[in-house]
Structure 1
Amino acid sequence: MANSYFTLAAPSRQSSRDSRAHAAVETRPAEPITLSVHRDLAEVEADWRALDANKLNSLHQSFDWCAAWKRAHRSQLLVVRGALGKQLLFLLPFEIESGCFFRTARLIATAHSNLNTGLFAADVDRAPRGELCRALTEGIRRALRAYADVVALEKTPALWRGLPHPLAALPGIANPNASFQLGLLGDMERTLTQLNAKRRRKKMRLSERRLAELGGYDYVVAREPADAHALLDAFFRQKTARLEAQGLPDVFDNSEIRAFFRLLIDRPSAGDRLLELNAIRLRGEHEGRVIAVTGLSRKGDHVICQFGSIDHMIAADSSPGELLLYRVIERLCGEGVALFDFGIGDQPYKRSWCTMETPLRDITLPLTLRGHAAAGLHRAVVRAKRTIKANKTLYALVQRGRRRILRATTETADD
């Protein structure tokens, strides 16, 4: 059963002209938008899977993705369901993070998501825009203030797939990072015409020549769970080694996070691919050695690159990561994929591949008096990050400071 229900009745806003024009017509009062809060994901699974079918809803808010996160973590989860009469409008799946001073409601798995949309019905526009906005603000305040001090809807798009997103009606600020995409045009030749095709092919041939000197390579797509787990373990090893060499923290060095990605491999999902592992594997003298790994998720015609790594100990000068991306995109061009998403974060290799940049927004909704302070702090931190990232010199100083702190922490732990 749901924990609680909240109703927002739509007030009348007819002008005097409209009133006169419809004076002789008997009208029914507008149906209210009703919100309910659910603790158990299974209670709303049928509705959730129905909304999963809308291709504009991110895979990161899909039922199977969130269920895997719940199984790997012990966080408190709450799902807000909105309906117009008997017709489902939206679901917002939250986890409650308790800090020293604030309780924050975030969309499930936000820390490891590239795009957050929530889940909205394809015909959500049937709800009056003003009433939907009230439901997503006043309604959520009433529904969640007993559980959290502030709601943080992070990494949300104002526009997605060429359409305005329902959350764009809420006030927000620019996220420090954008996400980057490449449109796939049915085959590799047409897709490369959007880029510097000649340079891209030349770089790929150079990579192949260098790997041929080592005995050649295979492009591998893990089709069996055991193979996928082996490639995931290779990714963890490569990522850890790379970040240690750079003196940076490893966000994947966490038992719950690693368990989550393993669950994505094992969890059956109708139609979607929660996590597919692709790799470049050497032949010859280094037979079987994996030198590049990437993890992909697919929903409909949209593929997201979740992560990637390379082995810096061997054949690094062959650019195996770039070669792997080339082979992945080449394959997906023939499999009906229309959008390849490199995910959030501005990096040179993304800009070299991508033709689209999607700005993202952070929306903070204070629920309590303490939540107003939390929302102000969140906005200040986001603005500070955006300022730092916009200044290359300042960003480099901050990165060096992070590396020094990490080294000092590691040395202290070793002692």
Structure 2
Amino acid sequence: MSAAAIDISGTHPGSGSGNDDLQLTEDLEELASEWTQLESAGIGNPYHGFLWCKAFQNTLGTAERSRPLIALLRSAGRPVLLLPLSLFTKNGVRVLTFLGARIGNQNTGLWDKAYYEAVGPEAIRNVLHQLCQKSNADCIDLQNVPCQWTGRPHPLVLGNAQLSPNPLYRGSVTGTFEDVFKTLHSKSARKNLTRKQRHLQDAGGYEIRVCQQPAEIEAGLEAFLEQREARAQITGVPNAFSSPEAKAFLRQATQSPALSVTPDKMSAPLKIWTLSVSTQIRATYMCARDGGTLHAYSNSVAHDEFLKNSPGLVLIREIVEKICADPDTKTLDLGIGEEHYKTSWTRPEPMCDSRYSRTARGKIYSAVQTAKTRLISRIRNSDRLWPMIKNLRRMRASGN
């Protein structure tokens, strides 16, 4: 489908012009140059990067028959906002959502910094209305948007926003590793983790690696997939990467040559960190970088004789130590959802869900989704119901 341009003439803060235009296209390659320009010079997150979205649409998006709609707003001919979206129909309601939202950790969009700092709510609502109007969508569902982001309330958090069920876990790594470790861990916790690290080192063949060569990447990916599947069998927690399409997505996201050539030479969105003991990979962590933030995306650990020494926790310790020594890395992002290892290194930051409805059907959909989100939040925050659900998963996995 060829790009469609929308005239949304009007003055708003940060535009620099009274005439802006909003372009929609289903062809990701069509906007690749300006897309990667915003990635490199603007602010955003890796889950809205060109290569990430391309890998998703080539694999999971195709399997789900996702219809991508990439929205690019220009101000005075300059790209200032890119939203990678997807249009789907459910029960006769046409809904716009973030492209690949179910496999990403957060949704921010890609922004020109000056425009982001200045844009007001009226201008954003105008953009959302035009998005829905041009795509003939009934509403746009904006989930897992940070309430506060890069120094201000996020513009895509609308007046009707509600808290997302899961917060985002982020923390500063600007100090020395010793200071960060001491501040976030008690003396006994530091001693225990250091002891486990030493036990793994004493076993021989201890190595931390960021996979670079194709053979290393494939070995790291295979270890990740095997360990995630074993975890699903033991805990009953669904494995998000069990399908052939999900595995294909990870292969494309970790190996640049599998992706289309881009206007600028770019590395793969995901890098695989591994911890090996006795020549075997015992833990992995897939990470992405964006600006001064390391985004720790997804991890795995082997359920073997070394599990008692927590190789997954030791790997996170090693990652934090290395990024503390990197002056270009300021923040560690461990993604959404509470886990003990996340609270050990980072603190929760609230996320928001907002919905803009253009039609009566869209308002009904929004009301249903709002009620559903409220119910999920109550379950997850319940000291009785959420542990019960996790226990039921374990029992089902064990066949009891």
TM range (shorter): 0.7 to 0.9
Partner residue of 1:56?
A: 43
| Segments ≥4 residues shifted beyond 4 Å | 125-128, 268-273, 400-408
Give the paired residue count: 386
1:220-272 C-alpha deviation (Å, 9 max, x unpaired): 22121221121111111111111111123221111111111100111268466
Question: Structure 1 pair 341/353, CA: closer, same or farther in 2 (3 Å)?
Answer: same
The residue aligned with 1:221 is 210
Residues 193 and 176 of structure 1, relative CA distance in 2, 3 Å threshold? same
TM-score (norm 1): 0.85
State the TM-score, normalized to the length of structure 2. Answer: 0.88
Select which of 323, 334, 344 maps to 1:342: 334
1:245 is matched with which residue: 210, 234, 240? 234
Q: Quote the Cα distance in structure 2 between the aligned partners of 1:128 and 1:327.
A: 40
CA distance in 1, matches of 2:220, 2:50: 25
| 2:167 matches 1:181 | no
- Quote how far apart the aligned CAs of 1:374 are: 1.7
Alignment of 1:46 with 2:33, yes or no, is: yes
> What are the equivalent positions in structure 2 for 1:378-389 lying under 5 Å apart?
378-389=369-380
Q: In the alignment, what sits opposite 1:16?
A: none
5 Å-filtered alignment, 1:39-188, equals 39-54=26-41, 56-72=43-59, 73-74=61-62, 75-124=66-115, 129-145=120-136, 148-169=137-158, 171-188=160-177
Q: CA RMSD in A?
A: 2.7
Q: Which residue in 2 is equivalent to 1:329? A: 320
Distance 1:256 1:86, change over 3 A: same
Name 2:280's counterpart in structure 1. 289
| Pair 47,391 (structure 1): closer, same or farther in 2 beyond 3 Å | same
Q: Distance in 2 between matches of 1:273 and 1:293?
A: 17
Distance in structure 2 (CA, Å) of the matches to 1:61 and 1:245: 33
| Alignment of 1:261 onto 2:267 | no
Residues 14-38 of structure 1 show CA distances to partners (whole Å, capped at 9, x for unaligned) of xxxxxxxxxxxxxxx9613322211
Question: Could you tell me how far apart the structure 2 residues matched to 1:323 and 1:260 are?
Answer: 27
CA contact (8 A) 1:6 1:142 kept: no
**In the alignment, residue 293 of structure 1 is paired with which amino acid?**
T
Counterpart AA for 1:328:
I
1-side partners of 2:359 and 2:239: how far apart? 34
**Is the contact between residue 357 and residue 366 of structure 2 (CA under 8 Å) also seen in structure 1?**
yes
Q: CA 1:314–1:162 in 2, change beyond 3 Å: closer, same or farther?
A: farther
Cα 1:5–1:307 change in 2 (3 A) is same
Considering only CA atoms, is the larger Rg found in Structure 1 or Structure 2?
Answer: 1
Give yes or no for the alignment of 1:6 onto 2:1.
Answer: no
CA deviation digits over 1:41-88, x for unaligned, max 9?
Answer: 122112111211245311111111111112113121111222234232
Distance 1:210 1:128 in 2: 53
- Once the 2 structures are TM-superposed, how far is the Cα of residue 7 of structure 1 from its aligned partner? 2.6
Aligned: 1:280 with 2:275:
yes
Q: Give the aligned residue type for 2:333.
A: D
Cα displacement (A) at 1:144? 2.1
SS of 2:384's partner is: helix
